[in-house]
């Protein structure tokens, strides 16, 4: 049965005119209210004023001489940049991070240097698989990215809504993405592809147990937690190293949608989460998240008994409890979505002194992949796009030229280093610490998947988990179902037998009554 509050939300969204001002639904009306008449004379992109008749009619006139027409038409077909391969659709906003607890004995990063210190942030939340025109209520992991505009440059945490990731070896990235995307022949999402990946790469099942559980569809972004997924190396001013995982917990509470609720919402509002975030910020109901870390010493790492840098695993909270750091608040909507959210570019390599990143191979691969993705989508100077600029520090790179935007292109400063002509110089850190090198065993996280099933999910949650798995795997080929059942039995016999029984009971009908394999 649909929860009463969901019915209320759906009804409000479906209304054409709301009695209460809705910043998301009435943005363009609000713009009209705050401006007195036209804001000025329209121009072409070169700044020439546009005469009224040129802007209203072209019939019986020479088109090529109408610069407004030529400017508009030739720009229109160039208005789309490549969308992100994953995380294509998103909501986002801006705000600030505030330090509430002193951790300078762990990390020397300046934006963490004093209680009460505030740093501007930009956050972006996104389903992983759906395209830009997709739905907000898909059963999927979510990207959870936060950019801190610190005085030492930008620091980006590019995390997820789950505390673990899919695979341990970055070689699997392209396989994972393609298996979830559209079949190259049919152009349809294909359960055979997804379940082939999940059953060939069983470490992925730990994360997908969460995705198929109640936590697989967050109730909007304001109620969605975030996790850095990597175990970061950090250093204090004396060069002493620790290792941390970042946690973001919504102060409004974690809330999720059941499958049927999500389907009903999608029928009337596919942009549910994006709308909710924009509307509530516009109304002054600013969402906030607590920022905590789990902390390990070098001895903790050596004596943990498992690979603490394995992104497919979590760090047990009873062994490494959360330590509060601060909170961040989103209090400003984007003024222009394309300029500020679509062009918002994150990169795990955006680190600051005191935070060295993760020593694991997935982090190393992401340093390359994210940078390359931004070059492809936004060009070589993507960090000069205003939303990506390190606004709290003076930027003096030796990079020059390339595709727009260039801004002043570093004016007349020398363009090579080292030089004898007073160009920028590198700073010296007497306590500089290198990122440690680690050896990583083959992935094995079945014990944590078992722990999740037994101790983190209640009886009704386990019921819904089984139902959601059956919905997904039902159309897949017989041999994939058999392979999946064996793996689920390894996680826990109860889970495996329930999946096996559900598949045998015609609750889910396979589209394939034959098996080529």
pLDDT digit string, tens, across residues 500-516: 999 998 654 443 333 33
| Same structural domain, 162 and 102 | yes
How big, in percent rounded to 5, are the helix, strand and coil portions of the chain?
A: 35, 15, 50
Q: How many CB atoms lie within 10 A of CB 54?
A: 16
Please return the burial class of 26, using the count of CB atoms within 10 Å of its CB with bins 0-12, 13-18 and 19+: middle
Question: Given a cut of 90, is residue 406 above it in pLDDT?
Answer: no
| Same structural domain, 369 and 456 | no
Please tell me the distance from the alpha carbon of residue 309 to that of residue 118, in angstroms, as a whole number: 30
| pTM given for the model | 0.91
Q: Which pLDDT score, from 0 to 100, does residue 7 have?
A: 52
Average pLDDT over residues 198-212: 97
| Same structural domain, 380 and 499 | no
Average pLDDT over residues 179-187: 95
Domain total of the chain: 3
Among candidate residues 55, 79, 103, the one where a domain is terminated: 79
| Same structural domain, 322 and 298 | yes
| Same structural domain, 119 and 55 | no
Please return the burial class of 216, using the count of CB atoms within 10 Å of its CB with bins 0-12, 13-18 and 19+: buried
Domain membership flag for residue 222: yes
Q: How many CB atoms lie within 10 A of CB 2?
A: 13
Q: Which pLDDT score, from 0 to 100, does residue 3 have?
A: 62
Q: What is the DSSP letter of 349?
A: T
- Residue 404 pLDDT class (50, 70, 90 cuts): confident
Domain membership flag for residue 42: no
| Same structural domain, 261 and 350 | yes
Average pLDDT over residues 236-251: 97
* CB of 449 closer than 8 Å to CB of 197: no
| Same structural domain, 65 and 98 | no
Domain membership flag for residue 35: no
Question: Given a cut of 60, is residue 298 above it in pLDDT?
Answer: yes
Domain membership flag for residue 172: no
| Same structural domain, 68 and 142 | no
pLDDT tens-digit series, residues 113-151: 999 999 999 999 999 999 999 999 999 999 999 999 999
| Same structural domain, 242 and 332 | yes
Q: Which pLDDT score, from 0 to 100, does residue 516 have?
A: 31
* CB of 262 closer than 8 Å to CB of 214: no
Domain membership flag for residue 321: yes
Q: Which pLDDT score, from 0 to 100, does residue 407 have?
A: 86
| Same structural domain, 266 and 124 | yes
Please tell me the distance from the alpha carbon of residue 259 to that of residue 413, in angstroms, as a whole number: 58
- Residue 109 pLDDT class (50, 70, 90 cuts): very high
Could you tell me the two tokens for 510?
């396979």
| Same structural domain, 148 and 61 | no
Q: Is 31 helix (H, G, I), strand (E, B) or coil?
A: helix
Q: Which pLDDT score, from 0 to 100, does residue 16 have?
A: 45
Phi, psi of 332 (to 5 degrees): -145, 120
Contacting residues for 69 by C-beta, under 8 A, at least 6 apart = 54, 58, 63
| Same structural domain, 332 and 373 | yes
CATH of the domain at 139: 2.40.180.10
* CB of 87 closer than 8 Å to CB of 129: no
Question: Given a cut of 80, is residue 8 above it in pLDDT?
Answer: no
* CB of 277 closer than 8 Å to CB of 250: no
Average pLDDT over residues 478-499: 97
pLDDT tens-digit series, residues 225-237: 999 999 999 999 9
The CA-atom distances, in angstroms, between 506 and each of 467, 472, 499, 500, 502 are 13, 14, 12, 11, 7
Among candidate residues 346, 373, 388, the one where a domain is terminated: 388
Please tell me the distance from the alpha carbon of residue 106 to that of residue 102, in angstroms, as a whole number: 9
Percentage, residues of the chain above pLDDT 70 = 94
Domain membership flag for residue 19: no
Expressed as residue numbers, the domain containing 462 is 446-504
Provide the β-strand partners of residue 155. 148
């Amino acid at each position: 049965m649909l929860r009463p509050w969901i019915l209320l939300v759906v009804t409000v969204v479906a209304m054409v005119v709301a009695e209460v001002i809705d910043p998301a639904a009435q943005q363009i009306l609000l713009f009209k209210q705050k401006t007195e008449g036209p804001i000025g004379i329209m121009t072409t992109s070169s700044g020439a004023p546009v005469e009224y008749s040129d802007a209203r009619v072209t019939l019986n006139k020479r088109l090529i001489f109408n610069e407004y027409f030529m400017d508009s038409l030739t720009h229109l077909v160039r208005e789309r940049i490549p969308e992100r391969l994953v995380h294509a659709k998103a909501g986002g906003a801006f705000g600030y991070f505030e330090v509430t607890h002193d951790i300078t004995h762990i990390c020397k990063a300046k934006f963490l240097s004093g209680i009460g210190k505030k740093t501007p942030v930009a956050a972006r939340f996104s389903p992983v698989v759906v395209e830009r025109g997709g739905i907000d209520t898909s059963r999927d992991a979510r990207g959870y990215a936060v950019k801190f505009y610190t005085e030492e440059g930008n620091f980006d945490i590019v995390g997820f809504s789950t505390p673990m990731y899919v695979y341990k070896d970055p070689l699997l990235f392209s396989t994972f993405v393609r298996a979830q995307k559209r079949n190259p022949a049919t152009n349809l999402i294909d359960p055979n592809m997804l379940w082939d990946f999940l059953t060939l790469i069983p470490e992925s099942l730990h994360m997908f147990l969460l995705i198929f559980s109640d936590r697989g569809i967050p109730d909007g972004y304001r109620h969605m937690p975030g996790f850095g997924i990597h175990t970061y190396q950090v250093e204090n001013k004396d060069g002493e190293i620790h290792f941390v995982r970042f946690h973001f917990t919504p102060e409004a509470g974690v809330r999720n949608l059941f499958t049927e609720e999500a389907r009903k919402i999608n029928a009337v509002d596919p942009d549910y989460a994006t709308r909710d975030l924009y509307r509530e910020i516009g109304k002054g109901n600013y969402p906030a998240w607590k920022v905590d870390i789990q902390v390990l010493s070098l001895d903790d790492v050596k004596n943990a008994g498992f690979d603490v840098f394995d992104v497919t695993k979590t760090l047990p909270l009873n062994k490494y409890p959360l330590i509060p750091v601060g909170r961040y608040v989103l209090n400003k909507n984007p003024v222009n979505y394309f300029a500020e959210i679509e062009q918002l570019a994150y990169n795990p390599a955006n680190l600051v002194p005191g935070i060295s990143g993760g020593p694991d191979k997935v982090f190393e691969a992401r340093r390359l992949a994210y940078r390359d993705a931004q070059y492809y989508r936004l060009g070589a100077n993507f960090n000069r796009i205003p939303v990506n600029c390190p606004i709290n520090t003076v930027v003096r790179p030796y990079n020059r030229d390339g595709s727009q935007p260039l801004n002043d292109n570093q004016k007349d400063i020398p363009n090579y280093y080292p030089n004898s002509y007073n160009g920028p110089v590198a700073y010296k850190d007497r306590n500089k610490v290198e990122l440690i090198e680690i050896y990583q065993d083959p992935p094995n996280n079945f014990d944590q998947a078992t722990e999740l099933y037994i101790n983190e999910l209640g009886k009704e949650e386990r019921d819904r988990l089984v139902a959601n798995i059956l919905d997904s795997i039902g159309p897949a080929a017989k041999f994939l179902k058999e392979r999946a059942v064996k793996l689920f039995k390894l996680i826990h016999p109860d889970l495996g037998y329930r999946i096996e029984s559900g598949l045998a009971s015609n609750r889910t009908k396979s589209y394939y009554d034959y098996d080529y394999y």
